[in-house]
Structure 1
Amino acid sequence: MDKNQPKRSRVPVMVALAVAIFGMLAMLVVDHGPWSRAHAQAADVANYHTTGAAARAAGVQIAPTDPKPELEPVAPGPKPAQPASPITR
């Protein structure tokens, strides 16, 4: 080893590796622990296959949304002032 080369330390690498392993284990415990259960229902278990079917069963009347107008209405209030012309003659 050359005297001008600084001694390399493995401590930062080991700390980063330990933090990464701890994070992975923590995610596995939180996501797949005994207290977590499936939130989504399979299609054969669910009562209705679509949101619309569930809404109709609840007695909701479904109507399409109003189409947007092609032209926007004129904004109320005064018109903006003309910008100053940068060209002076």
Structure 2
Amino acid sequence: MAKVLTEDRLNRPGGAPLKAAIAVAVLGVLGMLIVDHGPWSKPKVQPAFMASYSSTGEAARAAGAKVMPTEPKLQVEPEPPVPKPVHPVNPAPE
């Protein structure tokens, strides 16, 4: 009886979508590995003495951006508009 069940499972139709999904997954993983780890994706590290600008602000100014300081925060922040509780839900025992 066990032999018949095994043969039925091996010969049953409908395996084409599963095989296609596995092929797409394998090709996708291989494609990601090639793109991420190929010889063209090596980082180009620049030593400090070759860097053109020592700060982000200098680089922004060189690109023509106007660097402005942020507005200072208010000393006293306004209270958020929420209702204030009149009494606590569970008063602490004394």
**What's the TM-score, normalizing by structure 1?**
0.45
Structure with more of its chain in helix, by fraction: 2
**What's the TM-score, normalizing by structure 2?**
0.44
